[in-house]
Amino acid sequence: MSEVLVVGSLAYDSVRTPSGKADKSLGGSANYFSVAASLFAKVRVVGVVGEDYLDSDKKILLDRNVDLKGMQTVKGETFHWEGSYEKSLSDAITLKTELNVFAAFNPELPESYKDSRFVFLANIDPVLQLQVLSQAKEPLFVGMDTMNFWIDSKQKDLISVLKKVDIVFMNETEAKMLTQTRNPVTAVKRVAEMGPQYVVVKRGEYGSTLYSKTDGFFQVPALPIEDVIDPTGAGDSFAGGFFGLLASQCTARPTWIDLKRAVLAGTVLSSQTIQDFSLKALLRVDHINYENHLTQLKATISI
């Protein structure tokens, strides 16, 4: 089994949805990713938190065997995001972003992390993503996430990262924005032309699409969920399940079949995340629960 390195935000979120609200609850891309990936593999985290970050929140990751040598604790407050989901649970309205200690985040990989075989660059400044890649020693498989803010403000740096990764995760709107095209199929292909061999398009309640330059498209529906409480972190949980499964099963570069199976893992983990606020539902997932939902998902497709 290989280790997964994730670099991203460790945060507190305040979220309001039609189902209620949660104030300053555990969030951040690296937290969602780590909890999801740790179901399958050993995870190494690089991120920064403030003095207000609770020991009980660190314990959540430690109890799942997540390595926190790369978690920096510095003077100040932890990154805080506040948002709401109103008309659509597919789109978050950002009410407040307090970067706090995250504003000066300088990712430094501990020596023991530099040989990580699987590396995931969560949604952070592409300049920082490049900084992480410069420290990693010949990783087997590298993935990245991004968002419209970086596409708009740091596109040149973002494209530099795309040239160095194997797979990128984004939604349809971001793919169209980056490639300046209206057709989602054309957009995905043009993203791949920028560098990565594979592209995952996250489509919310409609599932996801995996694209390969050599193997084409593979589409997976979302698991039907009756009561969506909080969609925050679903994409990060998807990526965590995806990379965790790969790290648990691949000793060589992942094949097309490996990646298709990873999409199923990501689909199951993201479907669980959305059923409660923060990490609560994701933390309830065990191997039995996972296998039951995987069987349900497989019944709807063929791989």
Q: List pLDDT tens digits, range 260-277.
A: 999 999 999 999 999 999
Distance of alpha carbon 276 from alpha carbon 134, whole angstroms: 37
The answer to whether the CB of 13 falls within 8 A of the CB of 214 is no
pLDDT over 80 at 205, yes or no: yes
pLDDT (0 to 100) of residue 204: 86
pLDDT over 70 at 7, yes or no: yes
Helices (H), the chain: 29-37, 55-62, 126-135, 148-153, 155-162, 172-179, 184-193, 234-249, 256-273, 280-283, 287-298
pLDDT over 80 at 112, yes or no: yes
pLDDT over 70 at 17, yes or no: yes
CATH domain 4-298 topology: UDP-N-acetylmuramoyl-L-alanine:D-glutamate ligase (3.40.1190)
Q: How many CA atoms lie within 13 A of 192 on its CB side?
A: 19
For residue 302, name the pLDDT band (cuts at 50, 70, 90): low
> pLDDT, tens digit, for every residue of 72-111?
999 999 999 999 998 778 778 899 999 999 999 999 999 9
pLDDT (0 to 100) of residue 303: 58
Question: What's the chain's length in residues?
Answer: 303
For residue 181, name the pLDDT band (cuts at 50, 70, 90): very high
The answer to whether the CB of 81 falls within 8 A of the CB of 94 is yes
Where do the domains of the chain lie? 4-298
Higher pLDDT, 149 or 1: 149
pLDDT (0 to 100) of residue 2: 84
